[in-house]
Amino acid sequence: MNYKTIFRIVGLMLLVEGAALLISLLIAWLAGGSDVMAFAWSSLACLVPGLLLVMATRKSSMMISRTEGFLIVTLVWLIFSLFGTLPYIFSRTIPGFADAFFETMSGFTTTGASVVDNLETFPKGILFWRALTHWLGGMGIIVLFLTMMPAFGIGGMQLYSAEVPGMTVEKISPRIYQTARIVWGVYVLLTLVEVILLMFGGMSLFDSVCHAFATMATGGFSTKQASIAFWPSPYIQYVITLFMFLAGTNFTLLYFAGRGKFSRLFRDEEFRYYFLFVLGFTILIFSGLLISTKLPAEQAFRDSLFTVVSVITTTGFVTADYLMWRPVLYMLVFILFFFGGSTGSTGGGVKIMRIVLLLKNSYYELRRIIHPSGVIPVKFNKHAIEPRVISNVLAFFMFYLMVFFVSTVILMIFVGDMDTSMGAVASCLGNIGPGLGSVGPVFTYSAVPDAGKVFLSLLMMLGRLELFTVLVIFSPSFWTDQ
Amino acid sequence: MKVVIAGAGEVGTHLARMLSHENHDIVLMDNDPEKLAQISREVDLMTVTGSAHSFVDLKETGLNKADLFIAVTTSEERNVLACAMASYLGVARTIARINNSEYLQARYREKLKNMGIHEFIYPESLAAKEIVSSVKLTGTRQYFEFSGGKLILMGIKIRGNAPIVNRPLEELGSLLKDIVAVSISRGNENIIPSGKDMILSGDVVYFVTNRSTQQRLFELTGKELFEVKNIMFLGGSRIAQKTIEKLGDNYRIKVIEVNRERCSMIADQFENVLVINGDGRNLDLLQEEGLAKMDAFIATTGSSEVNLLSCHLAKSIGIKRTVAEVENFALINTAENMDIGTIVNKKLIAASYIYRFTLNAEISNVKCLTSSEAEVFEFIAKPGTRITEKPVRELDFPSEAKLGGIIRGDQGFVASGNMQVQEGDKVVVFTVPSGMKKLEKFFK
Size of interface A-B (CB pairs under 8 A): 27
Which DSSP symbol is given to A325?
Answer: S
The percent of residues in chain B predicted with pLDDT above 70, rounded, is 96
Neighbours of A389 (CB within 10 A): 15
Please check the confidence at residue B374 and state whether its pLDDT lies above 80: no
* pLDDT for residue B63: 86
Contact B27 A176 (CB under 8 A): no
Residue of A nearest to B16 (CA): A174
pLDDT band, very low/low/confident/very high, at A461 (cuts 50, 70, 90):
very high
Contact B45 A156 (CB under 8 A): no
* Element holding B208 (H helix, E strand): strand B204-209
Q: Mean pLDDT throughout A268-281?
A: 94
* Residue numbers in A near B42 (CB within 8 A): 154
Position B370 pLDDT exceeds 60: yes
Distance CA A273, CA A269 (A): 6
Contact of A154 with chain B, judged by CB distance below 8 Å, is answered with yes
Cβ neighbours for B92, distance < 8 A, ≥ 6 positions apart: B66, B67, B68
- The residue ranking higher by pLDDT, B287 or A53, is A53
Answer for the pair B305, B316: CB distance below 8 angstroms, yes or no.
no
Residue B107 exposed, middle or buried by CB count within 10 Å (0-12, 13-18, 19+): exposed
Cα→Cα distances B377→A249, B153, B361, B405, B440, Å: 49, 11, 11, 11, 11
Q: What is the CA radius of gyration of chain B?
A: 22
Q: One fold for both B230-319 and B357-442?
A: no
Q: Please give the CATH architecture assigned to the domain spanning B357-442.
A: 2-Layer Sandwich (3.30)
> Which residue numbers of B have CB closer than 8 Å to A's CBs?
2, 20-21, 25-27, 40, 42-47
In chain A, the residue whose alpha carbon lies closest to the alpha carbon of B17 is A154
Q: B20 to chain A: nearest residue by CA?
A: A153
Fold of B230-319: Rossmann fold (3.40.50)
Predicted local distance difference test score (pLDDT) of residue A107: 94
pLDDT band of residue A331 (cuts 50, 70, 90) is very high
Contacts of B46 in chain A (CB under 8 A): 171-174
pLDDT of residue B362: 61
The whole-angstrom separation of Cα B225 and Cα B231 is 16
pLDDT of residue A416: 81
Q: Are strands B93-97 and B119-121 parallel, antiparallel or unpaired?
A: parallel
What is the rounded CA–CA span in Å between residue B220 and residue B176?
Answer: 9
Helix (H) or strand (E) holding B426: strand B426-431
How many angstroms away from the CA of A286 is the closest CA of chain B?
A: 42
**Residue B43 with chain A: CB contacts under 8 Å:** 154
Is residue B361 over pLDDT 90?
Answer: no
Of B25, B42, B46, the CB nearest to A154: B42
Summarize pLDDT for B31-58 with one digit per residue, the tens. Answer: 988 888 888 888 888 889 889 888 988 8
Query: What pLDDT is attached to residue B358?
Result: 74
Does the structure show a pLDDT above 60 at A72? yes
**Hey, are the CB atoms on A153 and B45 less than 8 Å from each other?**
no
| Structural domain boundaries in chain B | 2-121, 127-220, 230-319, 357-442
A190-246: per-residue pLDDT in tens? 999 999 999 999 899 999 999 999 999 998 899 998 888 898 899 999 999 999 999
CA angle centred on A59, ends A53 and A60, rounded to 5°? 75
Position A460 scores a pLDDT of: 93
Homologous superfamily assigned to B127-220: Regulator of K+ conductance, C-terminal domain (3.30.70.1450)
Fold of B2-121: Rossmann fold (3.40.50)
Higher pLDDT, B348 or A306: A306
Q: Are B11 and B350 in contact (CB under 8 A)?
A: yes
Give residues with Cβ within 8 angstroms of A353, minimum separation 6: A166, A167, A270, A342, A343, A380
- Chain A closest-CA separation from residue B340 CA (Å): 34
Range among A33-42, B125-134, B309-318 with highest mean pLDDT value: A33-42
Asked if residue B403 has pLDDT above 90, the reply is no
CA–CA min distance A156, chain B (Å):
8
Looking at beta carbons, which residues of chain A come within 8 Å of B44?
A: 153-154, 156-157, 174-176
Q: pLDDT-based confidence at A358, cuts 50/70/90?
A: very high
Contact check, Cβ <8 Å, B44/A153: yes
The more confident residue out of A308 and B206 is A308
| Mean of all residue pLDDT scores within chain A | 90
Measure the CA–CA gap between A84 and A60, rounded to whole angstroms: 26
> Would you call B2 and A176 a contact, using CB atoms and an 8 Å cutoff?
no
Q: What does the pLDDT look like over B266-304, one tens digit per residue?
A: 888 888 888 988 888 788 888 888 888 888 999 998 888
Q: Tell me which chain B residues have a C-beta less than 8 angstroms from the C-beta of A172.
A: 46
Interface mutation target, options B21, B24, B44, chain A, most CBs of A under 10 Å? B44
Rounded distance between C-alpha atoms, residue B369 and residue A43, angstroms:
52
- Out of A28-32, A279-283, B213-217, B326-330, give the one with best mean pLDDT: A279-283
Q: Give the minimum alpha-carbon distance from B206 to chain A in angstroms, rounded to a whole number.
A: 30
A377 touches chain B (CB under 8 A): no
Q: Tell me which chain A residues have a C-beta less than 8 angstroms from the C-beta of B27.
A: 174
Min mean pLDDT across A6-20, A291-305, B304-318, B376-390 is at B376-390
Query: Cα distance from A176 to chain B (closest Cα, Å)?
Result: 7
Query: Which residues from B are below 8 Å from A171, CB to CB?
Result: 46-47
Q: pTM, whole model, 2 decimals?
A: 0.79
List all residues of chain A from 160 to 219 with a beta carbon under 8 Å from chain B: 171-176, 178
More confident residue, B133 or B77: B77
What is the model's pLDDT at position A163? Answer: 80
Which chain A residues are within 8 Å of B2, Cβ to Cβ?
174
Confidence of residue A130 (pLDDT cuts 50, 70, 90): very high
Pick left, alpha or beta for residue A204 (phi over 0 → left; psi -120 to 50 → alpha; otherwise beta): beta
Whether residue B44 and residue A176 make contact (CB cut-off 8 A), yes or no, is yes
Judged by a CB distance cut-off of 8 A, whether residue A156 touches chain B is yes
Closest CA to B97 of B8, B34, B178: B8
pLDDT tens track for A393-441: 999 999 999 999 999 999 999 888 888 999 999 999 999 988 888 888 8
Q: Which residues of A touch B26 (CB under 8 A)?
A: 174
